[in-house]
Amino acid sequence: MKLPVIDAPSPNFNARKRPVSLVLLHYTGMKDGPSALARMRDKAAQVSAHYMVEEDGRIYRLVAEESRAWHAGLSSWKGERDINSASIGIEIVNPGHEMGLPDFPAAQIDTVIAMVRSLRARYGLPPEAVIGHSDVAPGRKVDPGERFPWDRLAEAGCALALPETRRAGEPAALLKQIGYTMEPGLATVVEAFQRRWRPEQVDGKLDPLTRERIERVASVA
C-alpha cells in the first residue's frame, strides 16, 4: 500500500487459509481510536484487523495483509465461513450505535476510499466484494452502521452501486444469492440488508421498496 501508514503491530493473527476475495469494513464501537487500537493490540482480547482508520484519516497497520487478522468472528458470505481468511479487515474509528452513531468525518472516508481503491486494484476485486460486518453476521453485528456513507464509496467505484436492473424471485432465495446466510431468519437478514441498502428504514420488514432493492442487488450477484 502506497498510502502512508503507521505501524502498530498486533499479536492477534495467524496464517491465512484462503486468497483475499473480500474487503470487510467495520466500525470500532469504542470511545476513541486509542482505546480501539489498544484493544486490538492486547493479546488477551484476541481481536485485530489489518488496518484502523482514525477520524482524521491516519492509517494504522496492525496485521500484514498476507496474514489472517481476527476481525470477522462467526460469519458467512456466499457460503464462505472463514471470512477472516478470505478478507482484509478495516476498522473505522467510530463509537457506534451505543454512543449515538455519529457521522463519519469526510477526511476519514476519503482515506477509506483510497485504501479500498488500492486493495481492489491489487487483489483484482469487483465492487461487490466490499461489504460490511453486518452483512456477514446478520443479527450479531450492526457495523459499520446505517450512517456509513456507502453511496460515497459507490460513486468512487469502491463499492457496489444500486443496480438499475432487477431479478425476480423470492426474497429469501435472492438474499442468499447476494451472499447472506439465512440461518438467523428472514427478518434478521432483511434488517441487515436494509442497513446497507435502505438505511432510512431498518426494521426487517419486506415492504415493496425493500423487495425492489433486493431484486436490484441480486441482479448482479
Catalytic residues: 91
**C-alpha distances out from residue 64 to 67, 87, 88, 120, 127, Å:** 6, 12, 10, 16, 22
User: In angstroms, what is the C-alpha Rg of the chain?
Assistant: 16
C-alpha distance across the termini of the chain, in Å: 28
Q: How far is Cα 188 from Cα 205, in angstroms, rounded to an integer?
A: 9
Q: Are 140 and 73 in contact (CB under 8 A)?
A: yes
Q: Are 32 and 93 in contact (CB under 8 A)?
A: yes
Q: How far is Cα 210 from Cα 158, in angstroms, rounded to an integer?
A: 23
Q: How far is Cα 59 from Cα 36, in angstroms, rounded to an integer?
A: 13
Sign, Cα dihedral of 59, 63, 41, 87 = positive
Q: Are 75 and 85 in contact (CB under 8 A)?
A: no
